[in-house]
Amino acid sequence: MAAGRVVMLVLAAATGVLIAHTLRPEGRGTYAIITTTALTAIVLGHLSVERTQIFLWGDPGRHHRLGVNALFLGMLLGTLTAAAGVVLTLLGLMPSRSPLLCLALLAVPFGVTTVNLTGIALLRSRMEAVSRCMVAGALVQCVPLMVLAGTGGLTVGRVIVCWTISLIATCLFLLAAVRPFPLRGDGRLALRQLALGSRYHVGLVACHLMTSADVLLLNALDTVAAVGLYTVAVTLLFQTRVPAEVLTQAALPRQAVGDLGDAGHVTARTVRLNLLVSSVFIGVLVAVSPLLIPLVYGRPFAGSVAPLLTLAPGAVALTLLRPVEQYLVRTARPLALASVPAGALVLNILLNVAVIPRWGAAGAGAVSTVTYALMAAVEMAWFLRAARLPVSALLPRAADVRSLRQAARRLVRRFRRAAGRTGGRTTPPPG
């Protein structure tokens, strides 16, 4: 799984550099506004069905029906959301009135289904299958962009086309991997999932808007170029979160089954490991960013350094939230869980409205750091109380460092073996 994420990281970096060099800050900003809006539609549309899968997974008799419902509910909810988005775009009520937004919205049903199917695959401990599908989807986006950039034909419209096709392809790859066949769903179970998911959904939407409202507010209160600079910083920080996301996804099956006591210890260890790896990766990025960003993206993107520095501490805090929320879902208190990100979102918007006109993208990064840190502190305090664990349970230990070092060594050995096998196949025999 980690190896697959490394490949995805390389592909994402290559894609980001191609888009930045070709489209410049203004074009990069336009691309970011359209994709952020479409991704927000995906979050709004999936109605937290994947959280209901975690909640209901304890009964093995439901596993197949949950997998079938993941497909049906994903396509149904995604189609309704996409249709509403197209109507709002035509009425001029979306952040962009470009026809390209309508094109991007075509990927929403597939994006919603991907979220659901990914949840099922992770609950089945099919991490490698998820990684392969994600890598394949990233290749579908990256390879055509490389060809277009090499021929001088890369435009905002073609970038959006490649992005849309990649989301559709990822969904199809996951469907082939999960294979929820025969397609015998459970209508009663689906209604229960919708009722339960709607209770969790407010919090999930608020949490997503926390990470995207700053982009939309920058577009409204500053310039499209500022959006382009800011989203480069966000993208780089998102890529450094990949190791923590791998650990979080690997912990999910153990958090979803068994008693809450064991799940609490798994969650605490995952938080400790995430804190270690995210601090290291994000710390390295902060140290090299003044040289890295102008060198890789070009001098026009030197303004991305300041928002990256102000957003970096918040990015560390954000990696701690997901494993904690996966545990808190099992406490069956959806309204309380929703109130934390909802309150943080309101604070985030108010601070951004006050700060962006004066401080621009750097101010937006600082606001995000403050609100992410507050939300992480509240949810971790709740987790510790629910799991009856001391604060020290979340502080990294020497054993955690050793386990990460051993995992890194295994990963390096695996890459070396893979490289050796490839070399053996491609090198002609002596004589």
Could you report the per-residue pLDDT of 180-192, keeping only the tens digit for each? 888 887 899 999 9
Least confident stretch, 140-149, 170-179, 244-253: 244-253
pLDDT for 54: 84
> Looking at residues 102-112, what average pLDDT do you find?
97
In the predicted structure, residue 259 carries a pLDDT above the cut 80: no
pLDDT above 70 for 428? no
- What CA–CA distance (Å, rounded) separates 411 from 406? 9
Tokens 């995952």 correspond to 270
> What's the confidence (pLDDT) of residue 415?
63
The structure tokens listed for 96 are 């962009």
Instruction: Supply the DSSP string of 19-66, one letter for each residue.
Output: HHHHHHHHHHHHHHHHHHHHHHHHHHHSTTHHHHHHHHTTSGGGHHHH
Distances in whole angstroms, Cα of residue 418 to Cα of each of 279, 408, 423, 426 = 29, 15, 9, 12
The rounded mean pLDDT for the chain is 88
Question: Could you give the percent of the chain with pLDDT greater than 90?
Answer: 56
Beta carbons within 8 Å of 252's beta carbon, 6+ residues apart: 54, 122, 123, 326
Question: How sure is the predictor about 5, in pLDDT bands with cuts at 50, 70 and 90?
Answer: low
Comparison of pLDDT for 73 and 337, the residue scoring more: 73
4: confidence class by pLDDT, cuts 50, 70, 90: low
pLDDT for 71 beyond 80: yes
pLDDT classification of 425: cutoffs 50, 70, 90: very low
Cα separations (Å) of 145 from 110, 394, 418?
21, 42, 27
Range with lowest mean pLDDT among 294-308, 365-379, 400-414: 400-414
Task: Give the mean pLDDT of 131-153.
Answer: 90
pLDDT digits (tens, 9 = 90+) for 275-284: 999 999 999 9
Between the two ends of the chain, the Cα-to-Cα distance in Å is 39
Averaged pLDDT for residues 250-261? 79
Measured from the Cβ of residue 127, the count of other Cβ atoms closer than 10 Å reads 19
Look at residue 361 in the predicted model and tell me its pLDDT. 96
Structure confidence at residue 2 (pLDDT):
59
Does residue 101 have a pLDDT over 90? yes
Residue 202 above 60 pLDDT? yes
Q: What is the band of 203 on the pLDDT scale with cuts at 50, 70, 90?
A: confident
Most confident among 120-129, 145-154, 365-374 (mean pLDDT): 365-374
The pLDDT value recorded for residue 429 is 35
**Residue whose pair of structure tokens reads 């500022």 in the numeric block:** 226
Average confidence (pLDDT) over 247-266: 83
Given a cut of 80, whether residue 359 has pLDDT beyond it is yes
Q: What pLDDT band is residue 431 in, cutting at 50, 70 and 90?
A: very low
pTM: 0.74
The DSSP secondary-structure symbol of 318 reads H
pLDDT at 430 over 50: no
Percent of the chain with pLDDT over 70: 94
Measured CA to CA, the distance from residue 398 to residue 273 in angstroms comes to 11
Confidence tier at 381 by pLDDT (50, 70, 90): very high
Per-residue pLDDT tens over the stretch 215-233: 989 999 999 999 999 999 9
Helix (H) or strand (E) holding 299: none
